[in-house]
Amino acid sequence: MVLSLITPEDQEGIFIRLLDYYKKLYPGIAFKRAEKQLSKKDIADLNYTYPGEEEKASALERMQLISEELAKGYSTPIICLKKKKKTILLDGHRRVRVAFERASPWKALLIIPQTDQVFGIEEMILGKVKDLFGKNKRKK
C-alpha cells in the first residue's frame, strides 16, 4: 500500500463539506469560519475525538510520513469545532499527534458556532491530547 498525505486543497474540500454538514444538522445556528495558528499549548488542550477505525501500524506509518514531510514544508491544516470553552478536533488526528509529539504549532481551520450548543461530536471526545498522548499519561 502506498501512503499519501492529504493536500491543503483536499482539506479545504473536507472543511467545506463539514461546515455544510453542521449547517444542515443545526439549522438554527450560524457558523463562521476562521483560521488560527494553534500554539503548542492549544494543541495539547485540544479535545481529541474518536479517529475512526485504523490499524495501529497504519496510523504509525502515516505519522512517520507526516514527520518526514514536515522538513519539506508539509503543513496541511487540521479542522476543529471552536466553542467558547473548548476546541474539538474534527479532522487531522495524526497531524495533531505529530504536532504534539514535536511540541510544534499547527494551523487549524475552525468552524465557530455563533450560539452555545451541545454538539453530537462531543459524545466522541476521548480526552485532551495532552492527557491521551503525553509522556505522563495515566496508566490504565
**Whose CA is closest to 126, among 39, 70, 49, 71?**
49
Query: ∠87-43-32 over CA atoms, to 5°?
Result: 35
In a domain, 139, yes or no: no
Contact partners, residue 93, CB within 8 Å, separation at least 6: 48, 49, 51
Q: How many domains are there within the chain?
A: 1
Domain encompassing residue 56: 8-133
CB 74 within 8 A of CB 104: no
Predicted TM-score (pTM) of the model is 0.90
pLDDT above 90: percentage of residues in the chain: 81
**Whose CA is closest to 46, among 139, 138, 134, 135?**
134
In a domain, 89, yes or no: yes
**Which CATH number characterizes residue 73's domain?**
3.90.1530
Distance separating alpha carbons of residues 137 and 30, to the nearest angstrom? 37
In a domain, 83, yes or no: yes
pLDDT confidence of residue 71? 87
In a domain, 3, yes or no: no
Written as nine digits, the cell of 52 is: 475512526
- Tens of pLDDT, residues 17-74: 999 999 999 999 999 999 999 999 999 999 999 988 877 768 889 899 999 999 899 9
In a domain, 138, yes or no: no
